Structure 1
């Protein structure tokens, strides 16, 4: 039982670190999209790249410890945890979101961004909504089937 608790603690810790960055990166995109200053844009390019590459290992470790938890809990637990299946779909969407950030980073790096600050403001809110749903599922563990 102690092993599971350590893995759960590490899973949560890396998830929090990942989300700190995934909340801030699109905010940098907002500033970048709305800036007319080349100097500011160049500084934001550096900040965006460093942040995305800094948080990517946290995303990977969140996945590793999450999968370790599923493995340790066993296949029967997994089969009967409908809430977890929904959580995993939402988490997969977050990894797609994270991957899409690399595409957006490349657009900014190459001065090819065509999206407005408003787009990035909305984009910035999406992981918050997913996080709320994931937390509710993980804590309440509702029975769906």
Structure 2
């Protein structure tokens, strides 16, 4: 079990890091996209390609891998369900998945030319993954609850 645990934990952490990198970068791309000069089709298309590739090639697989390896860790019995930290982590991971889906929805809207928010909104939304990251890391490492 020790060998499996170490491999699953390493793969969980690596996939989580990749997922976080995408969650940090995609909203920043949204800022640049909406603030780009309208009517410049070259820039529009460049941002659309970057956003689509980031989401489909990096973020989606990383999120799926994070969930798979996390659930595999749970299945081998390494979580103490009598403590509070697994529940705070679970809520934060579900919220992060919801944020991921929100980003996917925003990307589709931008691709369709429906700019519903200004750059300032995406700058503020760019802080959501950081807050969730803090909850997850402190829940698992410090276990304050």
- What residue in structure 1 maps to residue 69 of structure 2? 65
List gaps (5 residues or longer) in structure 2: none
Kindly indicate whether residue 47 of structure 2 is the aligned counterpart of residue 44 of structure 1.
yes
Residue correspondences, number? 141
- What residue in structure 2 maps to residue 10 of structure 1? 11
Give the structure-2-normalised TM-score. Answer: 0.93
Moved over 6 A (4+): none
List gaps (5 residues or longer) in structure 1: none
- Give 1:129 deviation, angstroms: 1.1
Q: Deviations over 1:20-75 (max 9, x none)?
A: 1111111100000111133211110010000000120110000000011111116x
Asked if the contact 2:88–2:135 (Cα under 8 Å) also holds between the matched residues in 1, the reply is: no
- Give 1:78 deviation, angstroms: 4.1
Partners of 1:130 and 1:105 in 2: how far apart?
Answer: 21
Choose from 122, 130, 135 the match for 2:137: 135
More helix by share: 1
CA RMSD of aligned residues (A): 1.2
